[in-house]
Amino acid sequence: MAIIKNGVNGAVSGKAGSVVFVLTKTGNYVRSLPRVKKREPTPEQLLSRTRFKIVRSHISLLNPIIKIGYKAYSYPKRAYDVAMSYNLNEALIQKEDGFVVNWQKFMVAKGSPNPITSYTMDFDQEDRVLQVTWEYDTYLEKKFDTRSYDSFLILYNAADSGAEYPLLMNDSKNRLIAGKQHLNIPAHRKEATYEVYLFFVESYGGGNTDSLHLGKIQV
């Protein structure tokens, strides 16, 4: 913005459009703004941007879950930022044609070790109910006092961000010691593939476990 000093007949200083007014002892001058040469990004910068874009696209969609699953682990930083950093470093695989996400290493929650030692998944096509059952390590359960933690069963359609139901989560929550959790899946207009995750959260806030990737399911 240019400024006129001492009325309309006074000296002008500052920037106006593509020029800048300069006031010196010898008078008032007008100069063109210097041209800033736009630098092309380096291959390393392009690579970094690609990695960031891939992870951000998933973290943004999963943000309601990330806020729960990274709350304690990330404090005092933002859960979103910590989830971005962790998965950028741990969950990407570089291939000749770019990057892909390793969903087994991708974490929707970080905390104490997930105590599950074995599990089964069974989808009832008629009733559209996914039933997950599990066994857990009693030593880890006692060490981290996760006995009464609530289960969060997450289905994420990673392949189609515009899907009818990109993200599903159980409404009623069983505790870790129950050894089972079900999730009602709405009817889809077309078949969808979901990445399935399970983690446990302290009932009244506080801690949670790592997420565990249970595999894929088509519904």
Options 3.40.50.150, 3.20.20.70, 2.60.40.10, 3.40.1160.10; CATH for 43-218 is 2.60.40.10
Residue 181 DSSP SS3: strand
- pLDDT exceeds 70 at position 171: yes
Exposure class string for 54-78: b at 16+ Cβ within 10 A, else e: bbeebbebbeebbebbbbbbbeeee
Structural domain boundaries of the chain? 2-32, 43-218
Instruction: Give the residue, 10 or 212, on which the prediction is more confident.
Output: 212
- pLDDT exceeds 60 at position 185: yes
For every residue of 84-136, DSSP letters joined together read: HHHHHHHSEEEETTEEEE-TTT--S--SBPP-EEEEEEEEETTTTEEEEEEEE
User: What six digits make up the tokens of 174?
Assistant: 């069983």
Kindly state the percentage of the chain with pLDDT values over 70: 80
Q: What is the pLDDT of residues 91-136, one digit of tens each?
A: 998 887 788 899 999 999 999 999 999 999 999 999 999 999 999 9
pLDDT of the residue at 190: 86
Q: State the amino acid at position 43 in one-letter form.
A: P
Instruction: Give the residue, 219 or 45, on which the prediction is more confident.
Output: 219
| Distance separating alpha carbons of residues 79 and 136, to the nearest angstrom | 27
Preceding omega of 76 cis (within 30 degrees of 0): yes
- pLDDT exceeds 60 at position 23: yes
Residue 151 CB coordination number (10 Å): 23
| Distance separating alpha carbons of residues 195 and 169, to the nearest angstrom | 12
The maximal CA–CA distance of the chain, rounded, in angstroms, is 89
Look-up of token digits 């894929």: 216
